Amino acid sequence: MSSLLPFRLPCLGALALAASLSGLGAGEAGDAGDAKKKDFGKPNQDYLQARAELEKMLQAPRDTDLYELSFQTLEIDRILLKDRTGHEHVFHYVTFRLRNEITDDTKQLAAKATRYNEILQEAAKQYEAQKAVVENAVTLTVAGEKVLDRQDVRSRARRVSITAMAYDENGSRFRLLDEPIGSGPQENFNFPDLGVVSNGSSYDHVVHEISTKVGRTLKSVDDIRKLELPPYNPAKKDEEGVAEGEVFGVLVFNRLSIHGDEFTFQVRGLSNKLRTRKPDAAKGALDNYLETHVWRRVYVMHFSRPGDENFEDLHRFTLTKAGWEWVDTFQRINQRASVAYVKYFMDNLVNEKGERNATIEDEVWKYYDGVREARPTPKAPLPDLKQGLKER
């Protein structure tokens, strides 16, 4: 459940590794027996290093379990601080409570999934002789092996990397000339139309002042990123009354737009669930990456703050809506193209019988060469996987 790959060269590196492990190399001819008889010489050091890194990446355990943490908004306000020169600075902040437990939405979904639970229990009865066990009503284990496992209703210790952004309702797209308003082609642009954007930041001094103001120790997103939260256990609490697997934190923003009346806050990193929407492609064909959209599960808060730019300290925020939303994330065309092409090559490079497709292999290296030529010239030369395969 990872997002679109952010870099094109690692994609092609994985592709080249798969090709090498399958016995495919640029310029090779004949069957596997003939290839073994050929002496390509020793591979160069760049190729060996690149291959070792890719193999390590593929073999390393990855956290692919679905998760969705429990997040609760507590308070939004502003704080005014003076620097050493006496100048005043305004910071807005949102305090929250984070728990490493299954969210209420997921609990309700699991409770309603009676058919899944019935299948789980029935399978356990059929494989009773093989020591089938149902764990926590979400996992079926047969002879020590997990057969059915609903990952999104399981809690375990994990690290959380939170990022946040806030923006107002004043977008930049022109809509008044459309008939009807908002029906123009600009609505199809593959980027969100946001107002003035403020990204969440970590200022130790500001966080300390906010903690003093609210009367509770709060952690910044940087502090939370360093923690490993165990599963939530309300029976165990520290001296401040904070339960195990629970943390109170704060999102800090530089002064929000003085012209906004409606503000949207997005908190990412609380869930790794993704949805991909794209037109259906024919079997073996390249996906239509231009119309591909990736939707991310994000916790979104909507606040209202009516008033003008004067006497902001008298304008109060009101939480109008908060909860999980599927947000269309912006992905650059070259990133979407990389994913589509690598998927196309991997699906068609070798058929079901293990035979390689020479035409697809030629396309692989043409695309690979194009990617290398399009990249900015680095200070240190990039390892050439194509040349390394030739020298194998």
Q: Which residue has better confidence, 334 or 178?
A: 334
**pLDDT given for residue 31 in this prediction:** 47
Q: Quick one: what percent of the chain has pLDDT higher than 70?
A: 65
Report whether pLDDT(295) > 50: yes
Report whether pLDDT(146) > 70: no
Nearest C-alpha neighbor of 304 from the set 76, 139, 7, 70? 76
Q: Quick one: what percent of the chain has pLDDT higher than 90?
A: 15
The continuous run of DSSP H or E covering 112 comes out as: helix 104-112
Q: pLDDT tens-digit profile of 186-203? A: 666 666 777 667 777 777
**pLDDT given for residue 32 in this prediction:** 45
pLDDT band of 210, cuts 50, 70, 90: very high
Q: pLDDT tens-digit profile of 23-71? A: 444 444 444 445 444 445 566 777 777 777 777 766 665 556 778 889 9
CA distances to 150, 156, 168, 224, 234 from 229, in Å: 21, 8, 32, 9, 13
**pLDDT given for residue 118 in this prediction:** 65
Q: What is the mean pLDDT of residues 307-315?
A: 72
Please give the angle made by the CA atoms of 216, 218 and 224, to the nearest 5 degrees.
Answer: 150
Q: What is the mean pLDDT of residues 137-165?
A: 68
Mean per-residue pLDDT over the chain, rounded: 76
Q: Which residue has better confidence, 332 or 319?
A: 319
Q: Taking phi first (over 0 means left), then psi (-120 to 50 degrees means alpha), and beta for anything else, what does residue 269 get?
A: left
Q: How many helices (H) and strands (E) does the chain have?
A: 10, 14
**pLDDT given for residue 193 in this prediction:** 72
**pLDDT given for residue 73 in this prediction:** 92
**pLDDT given for residue 52 in this prediction:** 79
Highest mean pLDDT (candidates 114-123, 164-173, 247-256, 354-363): 247-256
Q: In whole angstroms, what is the distance from residue 129 CA to residue 297 CA?
A: 41
pLDDT band of 247, cuts 50, 70, 90: very high
- DSSP per-residue string spanning 239-301: TTSPEETEEEEEEEEE---TT-SEEEEEEESSB--EEEE-----TTSPP-GGG-EEEEEEEEE
Q: In whole angstroms, what is the distance from residue 367 CA to residue 350 CA?
A: 17
The continuous run of DSSP H or E covering 36 comes out as: helix 32-37
Q: How far is CA 240 from the centre of its chain?
A: 33
Report whether pLDDT(104) > 60: no
3-state secondary structure string across 355-368: CECHHHHHHHHHHH
pLDDT band of 296, cuts 50, 70, 90: very high
**pLDDT given for residue 72 in this prediction:** 92
Q: Which residues contact 253 (CB under 8 A, 6 or more apart)?
A: 91, 92, 93, 94, 164, 166, 198, 199, 200, 201
Highest mean pLDDT (candidates 51-55, 224-228, 327-331, 373-377): 224-228
* φ/ψ (deg, to 5) at 246: -125, 145
Torsional sign, CA 345, 347, 348, 350: positive
**pLDDT given for residue 45 in this prediction:** 76
Nearest C-alpha neighbor of 267 from the set 156, 160, 170, 192? 160
Q: Which residue has better confidence, 327 or 115?
A: 327
- Looking at 164-178, 229-243, 293-307, which range is the least confident one? 164-178
**pLDDT given for residue 141 in this prediction:** 65
pLDDT band of 98, cuts 50, 70, 90: very high
C-beta of residue 40 within 8 angstroms of C-beta of residue 390: yes
- As given in the structure block, the two tokens for residue 140 are 């079926």
Q: In whole angstroms, what is the distance from residue 78 CA to residue 256 CA?
A: 10
Beta-sheet pairing, 139-142 with 145-149: antiparallel
Q: Which residue has better confidence, 26 or 215?
A: 215
C-beta of residue 392 within 8 angstroms of C-beta of residue 43: yes
pLDDT band of 267, cuts 50, 70, 90: very high
Q: Where are the beta strands (DSSP E) in 115-159?
A: 132-135, 139-142, 145-149
**pLDDT given for residue 1 in this prediction:** 40
**pLDDT given for residue 194 in this prediction:** 76
Torsional sign, CA 181, 184, 188, 191: negative
CA distances to 229, 240, 242, 246, 330 from 236, in Å: 13, 11, 8, 10, 41
pLDDT band of 125, cuts 50, 70, 90: low
Report whether pLDDT(244) > 50: yes
**pLDDT given for residue 311 in this prediction:** 73
C-beta of residue 91 within 8 angstroms of C-beta of residue 253: yes
Nearest C-alpha neighbor of 15 from the set 389, 391, 392, 390? 389
